[in-house]
A and B are shown apart, each in its own frame.
Chain A
Amino acid sequence: MSETIVIAETRDGELHPVTAELVSAANNLGDSTTIVVPSTNDAAANSASSIAGVSKVIACVGDCFAAYDAASWAEAIDSCAPSGVIVCAASQNGKDLASRLAARRSISVVQDVVGIDGGTLTQPIYSGKAMQNLSLNGDAAISVRANTFAAAGDGGSAEVSVMNQSADVATAVREMIAKASERLDVAEADIIISGGRGMQDPANFANLERLADTLGAAVGASRAAVDTWEEIPHSMQVGQTGKTVNPSLYIAVGISGAIQHLAGMRTSKYIVAINKDPEAPIFKHADYGIVSTWEDALPVLEAELKALLG
């Protein structure tokens, strides 16, 4: 298990920073790391060559990389990547590609790796309610979650070899459609940002909506907000007599944390509370409590998230 192949993550032809994290993961698995950079040209490969700890960069160049098409990408990448353990990002396309590559080589695929310790890989199962620890006895394709490994530094100068590929695409993008910024339902969303009576005016929910757009979140509300303001519909209510939600992140703004509200969101994986009253019961249940008015806290939050998520 010495050779490890990182399949670079790209966005719009540019190298995605997560690639440097994949290099760290790969270096934990083997002693020589090759990056394969799929693209329509070799620009991204050239930037990959400066990642530290990489022994070789292969620019896998082909027209098929203009848009994601699992079959042709797998075919083209497979023919330039040497054998060894393949490391992809656990992004939507990265996981898809890892599965394709593994199947193409008739090896196993291990998705969503969140830890590599010696020969032991760890992945969440049952939506994170348990972890599975496993070892590989042969080649495999794995996908690694972002933020699992520190990004490898730069200062490398690996040699770039260009390999031109031509694979027939099996699917054709007919049109790109801008994502409608339709509001997610709280019952469906993985991130929820809810406002309570402390928002003082329904118009102030616009602040929460902007944040929700940045986060891809749904906007929820406490019952006091729903009961007080006609503009806030019951469909947004979280709690015992509203919806029971189970997102990975729940942000409660100006909500005191009454038992009936908690009944609907207590099982959220992470809870953030913004409330001006340090004694508010919600703080007992928050993973991260911020004692502040929302007027002060939300602008900072919005700026931070914008910077992070664009």
Chain B
Amino acid sequence: MGFQSKGCTLRGTGDKMTEIAVLVKRVPDTNAQILVSGDRVDLSAVKWVMSPYDEFALEAAMLHKEAKGGNVTAITLGNADCDKVLKDAKAVGVDRIIRVWDDSWSELDSNQAQSALANVIRDLGINIVYCGKSAADTGAGSTGPGVAERLGWASASNIIGLEFEDTGVEAMVPAATGNARTGVSLPAVISCDKGFCKPRKPNVKGIMMAKRAQVEVMSSDIPSSSVNIISHSPPPKKAPGQTFEGASEVPRVVAALRNDANVI
């Protein structure tokens, strides 16, 4: 198998415990109104939540542990405001909560964020990482595959189904021609779409556990940033509504949906 030749030993559940990690991110509620004031988005009034796809990743991690044993570590990247998403993860039963941060950092670009996460994951001796297919703020979906590459691990992205095996997982990965039932050996990063599991809810006992849990803060070396955020701006204004007479105009509407609206 691919990367084992490059020095990554495969640690199954045989003699060693599976070390499972889940990456969770704090983002504005997807219903939040996003305002741009000056040339930056103003997030001072938004409600913050765990990024929705991360909830499925968290559930997948918990299911993995229940199926094959091991420990689940929830990891986030950010300042102390992000402790809440770790507490939320703790409340549904993860074993350990870690926040990756250094007070000298401000906003990190993808390169920096992935490096920091990959370094910590490597140090923790993790064998499988679950994350959401994309975070609700950037929508980028870069973290899972980016972290996997830095670690030299396999990855499967946007998965819509998952089975646990002794030395890996079987993931259902959507492809152009159907869904690919894909075998993935550990170590690996799995980025999760919604729908294949139902994220569990906390209960009061879990919340009390979370209250007592300590967030471990870890730092790491990071490269320098190679992108400059110049500004944020409101989205382009939609053209005013148009009305067309008769079925013969349907092709014009279809063209507009494709070319102007970009929705099909």
Contact = CB atoms under 8 A, between A and B. Distances in A.
**Are A and B in direct contact (Cβ within 8 Å)?**
yes
Given A100-B149, A102-B110, A296-B247, A131 B136 contact: no
Contact of B231 (A104, A133, A309): A133
Contacts of A106: 111, 115, 223
B227 A286 contact: no
B241 A287 contact: yes
A70 interface: yes
Nearest to B143: A99
Which 6 A-B pairs give the minimum distances between C-beta atoms? A170-B154, A103-B149, A168-B2, A296-B247, A170-B2, A289-B243
Contacts of A99: 110, 140-146, 149
A74 B172 CA distance: 21
Contacts of B127: none
Nearest to A278: B243
Secondary structure dominating the interface of B: mixed
Nearest to A147: B262
Contacts of B175: 67-68, 176
A191 B263 contact: yes
Size category of the A interface is 35 or more
A304 B232 contact: no
Contact of A249 (B30, B172, B181, B261): B261
A68 B159 CA distance: 13
Interface in A91-126: 92, 95-100, 102-104, 106-112, 120, 124-126
A265 to B, nearest CB: 14
A11 to B, nearest CB: 6
A112 B195 CA distance: 24
Nearest to B228: A135
A171 B156 contact: yes
A32 interface: no
A93 B179 CA distance: 13
A106 B170 CA distance: 29
B183 A172 contact: yes
Given A134-B230, A174-B181, A291-B246, A125 B41 contact: yes
Contacts of A171: 154-156, 182-185, 188
Interface in B45-98: none
A112 B114 CA distance: 18
B138 interface: yes
B123 interface: no
Given A288-B257, A290-B250, A103 B147 contact: yes
B23 to A, nearest CB: 14
A120 B230 contact: yes
Contacts of B246: 290-292, 296
Nearest to B113: A108
B176 A96 contact: no
Given A168-B3, A172-B183, A269-B263, A130 B36 contact: yes
Interface in A168-193: 168-179, 188, 191
Contacts of B149: 70-71, 74, 99-100, 103-104
Contacts of A269: 261, 263
Given A108-B109, A138-B226, A290-B253, A308 B258 contact: yes
A127 B27 CA distance: 12
A176 B1 CA distance: 21
A72 interface: yes
B148 interface: yes
B41 A139 contact: no
A284 B242 CA distance: 9
Given A106-B111, A127-B30, A96 B227 contact: no
Interface string A130-172: 1111111111100001110000000000000000000111111
A305 interface: yes
B217 interface: no
A7 to B, nearest CB: 14
A240 B137 CA distance: 28
Nearest to A290: B244
Given A108-B227, A175-B180, 7 more contacts: A92-B157, A99-B144, A131-B233, A133-B233, A135-B227, A170-B2, A300-B251
